Structure formats: structure tokens, C-alpha cells
Structure 1
Amino acid sequence: MFPYLLLSTQQYIPLLAVFRNFAIRQIHWDEMSAIAGFDLTPDAGTTFRKIIDMDLMADLEKYETISICATKQLMLEELLAKMTSEWDDVLFTIMLYKDSGVNILTQLDDIHALLEEHIVKVQAMRGSAFVKLIEEEVKNFYVLLHRIQSTIDEWAKVQIQWMYLLPIFSSKDIVAQLPDEEVLFVQVDRIFRSAMSGLSRDPRVRETAGSASITSIVGLLEIMQEANELMEKVNDGVLNYLELKRLFFPRFFFLSNDDMLEILSETKEPLRVQPHLRKCFEGINRLRFNEVMDICSMFSEDYEEVRMQEEISTAAARGCVERWLFQVRNLFIEI
């Protein structure tokens, strides 16, 4: 009698597995109830015998399909919840930049790696046939990840340009010749310092880089995009400034922009030109300056000294390095 009972109930095990699937929620019970023609939602009184008596075996495959879908959907929900929670403890790392008194972003590689990993996973989720129940949540998370990524990219771009231009616009000599660009740089400088100050108070990546303002229109991303637009104008002005200097003294074409800016940012320090002389003049290694910074002789790479018949006054150039370099060029050609 017992073996017969075992054999007669064994065929209902797959149906029991459907009813015991903890991934099934009310929406799935409603789908199965529609197939059965009556409410299948289990309650405290639901037993194996009652399930057998419901006579559901004819549509077992349909119920199993719904059960499998429920399991897949739960897996996606758990994956989304796991990825979302991982951002709870992701923080920006900052460090003080030289003697500027301003912090800068560092160690962004780990954040970029997590972003790329999650973006790939979310893209796969969005293409899944089982994402329908959490489709909106997945979409919102995908938008959040891209916003964080874009914000960090724009922020890092501003930071690179800010670090590059800060010493330039700290030079009174250059600022005097680039007044319009200085105004724009001051705006960017204020934006960057404000952002870094805010980061010191709240270093969380999701809350800082992924958020927008109350209007949900303008956030840190849009602010950094605006800062980069201003930086482009500043860079254009700096490049035009360097181009004019090169046109006046063509040997500046042998120097990189960085070399030129190093020279031009310290016009009151003629000695800053020394490391770059060999690029401008093939035969000149160094110049000799007297105590008042007049040029009195030049040295070849073999340290052969050639004294000048007339000393060249760097002070008379009034900060225009290219003027006294032009005089050096003329004497060099004569020699």
C-alpha cells in the first residue's frame, strides 16, 4: 500500500516544487490562477493533498515556466540590490595639491573599474527577458552609473586643466597680458575649489557625482561641463598668446608650450631661460648674467666662452623675454 502511495504522489513533486518556490510573488500567483480558473494563492491551510486535489497537472508546464521566470526575476533583483549596495561605501580619495591649499582627486582607477563592471552587468540585465518587473529600477540605476561616470570624467578634465593653468595665472606677468582669460580662469578656479570643498564634507561617490540639484536639471555634472567650456576659452587665449610670442621670436617654435609658459611665467627671473637655450640656439649652452641680470657672455656646449661687445639688459625689455632673446639672436648671428 505504501509503495503504491509513493508512486501515485511522485508525479506531483514538480507541482509541489512550483508551490514551494519562494521567488513566486502575488503577480505570479495571479498569472497561474488565470490559467487554473480559480485562485491558487497558498495560505496557512494549503497542504500537499489540497494541491493534488486541485487537478493542475494538465497545465504543469505553464506553471513551471512562470516559476522559472519568477526565479530569474528574483536573481536580477538580488543582483541589482547587490550592485546598488556596493556604492554605499565607495568614497573619493583626495590629497592636498602642492602648496595651493586645495585638495585634488586621486586613485580614480578603482572607481572607474567598478563603474565599467556595473555598466556591463546592467546592460546585460536590460537585455534580459526577465527584467520587466524591475525595468524602471534598472533603467534608473543605469542612468545613475552613466551620470557618475560622466561627472568624474568632466571633473578630472577640469582638474587637469586647473593644475596646468594655476601656475600660469599665478604669474602677474602673464595675467597682465591675459586679462580676459584671467577672469574666466577665476570662475573655474572658484567652481573647482567649491567642488573640492564639498567633497571634503561628503566624499561618497554616488551622492556627490551622481546627484543633481532639487530641480533635477543642474548638478555637479552640468557645473563641470560649464567649467570645461570656460577652460577651452582660457586655453584658446593662452595658445593665441603663445602664438604671438612665437611670431615675434620664431625660435620659440623649437620650444613646447610648457617650456614657453615656464619662461614667460617668470619674466623677472631671466635665469629660467637657461635650461631651454640649447633648444633655441644650436651653439649656445648657457648665458652669463652679471649682478644686475645683464647678459655679458655666452657659453658653447664645450664651455667655450664668448664675451659680448655690448651687454644686453634684460631689465630694459620690461618683462618681454623675447625682446632680449632677439638681441641675443642678432649677436649670435653676427658672431
Structure 2
Amino acid sequence: RQLNDVQRKWLYLEPILSRGALPSERQRFRQVDGDLRRILGRVGEDPKLFEIANERIHPNLKGTLENCNSQLDKCQRALTDFLEQKRTLQPRFYFVGDDDLLEILGQGDNIEVMNTHLKNLFQAIVKVNVNENMAIVSFESVAGEKVDLNEPLKVSSTAEKWLGLLLSTHRETLATSLGQCLGSDNLDYRMYPSQALCLAENVAFASIVEECLGRNSLSSLNAELLNKLKNLTQFDMSKEPVLKLKVKALVLDIIHNR
């Protein structure tokens, strides 16, 4: 049983620690790795149960396995503490399991690898695009909508750091888009993200309602909303699926507001 426990723990920790994670535990694991390989090498030469228990072939086997188990438990606790520390620095890491988090931490500057995890870390981001300098210039949603960042974001090997910057830059970019939408009299729906367009529409609706209530003329509001619906339904969206989603969201909001 001791041998089975050691092998199970070793199988979990070996891929992690062998690629450089937890340098502080490297020497401890290396010692266990050497002991286990030596034991299994002898077992492979003569796998009979009786021979495994032979003190001449495997001197102090019980003590060695107990020590291996103890050392692997220490490695496991150190790994758990390490991952908890990273999750404290970047709470979105709680959304992924230990194996995925280890890959994120080990491949933080590999955009192809990071793109496979973004959908679990962010609700609306499934992919980021980089320029020739390995700086993020835009992000994409699951619907294929692409949003350009206000300014490029440099990717580093410290995943928790640049993911935090991505979150704040993402918010700043959407806030800028919202301001532009609110300040434009003739919106180009292709230029702005759907979230900013819908929020701007609802801000405008609230403002118009306040004006109409002040004049006791809600009937004019209904006419204005009908005119907006008419204009939106005139778009040719047959070849633009992203634009179709934006217009559909706006139409649903306007119908709800009516």
C-alpha cells in the first residue's frame, strides 16, 4: 500500500515539479524521485511479491517508502500554498482547477496556451490578439465581436499581473466606447461594442423619458422609439453576423422600453 501511495503522489507531482514549478521543493522531490526509480527498477527485475519484501533485495524498504510519502506530502502542501498565494493575487484563478492554473502560471507568455483558458477566467473574453511586439491589441467575444484596446498591453511571463491589467484595460476601453456612443449623433454600429451600444441606448432612453415627463408628452416618446426601430430594421445584415447580433440586442431593448 505504501508503494501504491508513493506512486500515485509521484505521478501527480512529477509533471509539475519536473518543469520547474516550485524551485524550493526541487531538491526534496529529486531525492524522492531517485529513491522511487531505484525501488521500481529492482521490482521490474523481479516483480514477485515475495521478492519485493526481501530485505536483502530491498533493504529498509518500509522506512524508505514512509520517508518518500512524508516528503511528497510536504511537496503537495507547498504546491497547495503556492497556488493559494497566486489565487489571492488574482482571484479569477479560483475559476480554474489546479492543473489548469499550473499551466497558466508556467505558460503565462504563451498567447496560444493562454487563449485556451481565457473563457474560464473572463465571462465575455475568449481570445486576445497580439501584434508583432507580443502586446495585446484587441480581445474577442464568443460571438466573434472584436474590440480594440485603447492602447496595447504588454504580455509578460507573470500571468497574474498582465491578466489583472487586461481586466482594467478592458473596462477602460468599454468606458471610452460608451462615452463616444453617448457623444455621437450618428452612430456607426460597426465601430462600437454591443455592450456600449446597448448601455448608451438605455442612458438615452432614461434621459428622453425624463424630458417627456417634464412636458407631459409621453406620446412623442413612443413615436421616437418606433422611428428607431424602423431605422434599425433597414440594415442589410445578411453578410455581417456580428452587426446582426448588435442590432438584434438594440431592437430587443427598444421593444422592452416601449
TM-score (norm 2): 0.62
Match of 2:13 among 155, 165, 170: 165
Contact in 1 for aligned 2:127/2:139 (Cα 8 Å): yes
Partner deviation per Cα, 1:9-36 (whole Å, 9 max, x = no partner): xxxxxxxxxxxxxxxxxxxxxxxxxxxx
* Two-structure CA RMSD over aligned residues (Å): 2.0
Residues 1-335 of structure 1: pairs in structure 2 closer than 5 A = 153-172=1-20, 174=21, 178-208=22-52, 210-212=53-55, 219-314=60-155, 317=156, 319-334=157-172, 335=174
Partner Cα distance (2:165, 2:70) in 1: 39
Q: Which stretches of structure 1, 4 residues or more, deviate above 6 A after TM superposition?
A: none
Partner Cα distance (1:213, 1:332) in 2: 66
1:312–1:289: structure 2 CA closer, same or farther, 3 Å change rule?
same
Amino acid aligned to 1:330? S
Partner Cα distance (1:170, 1:198) in 2: 23
Contact in 2 for aligned 1:184/1:230 (Cα 8 Å): yes
Structure 2: any 5+ residue segments left out of the alignment?
175-258
Larger Rg, first or second structure (1 or 2)? 1
Number of aligned residue pairs: 173
Partner deviation per Cα, 1:46-105 (whole Å, 9 max, x = no partner): xxxxxxxxxxxxxxxxxxxxxxxxxxxxxxxxxxxxxxxxxxxxxxxxxxxxxxxxxxxx
Amino acid aligned to 2:3? W
Partner Cα distance (1:272, 1:325) in 2: 14
Amino acid aligned to 1:195? I
Q: CA deviation at 1:167?
A: 2.0
1:181–1:191: structure 2 CA closer, same or farther, 3 Å change rule?
same
Partner Cα distance (1:244, 1:332) in 2: 25
Q: CA deviation at 1:179?
A: 2.8
1:327–1:300: structure 2 CA closer, same or farther, 3 Å change rule?
same
Partner Cα distance (1:254, 1:298) in 2: 20
Partner Cα distance (1:266, 1:233) in 2: 25
Partner Cα distance (2:118, 2:9) in 1: 27
Q: CA deviation at 1:281?
A: 0.5
Partner Cα distance (1:302, 1:226) in 2: 53
Structure 1: any 5+ residue segments left out of the alignment?
1-152
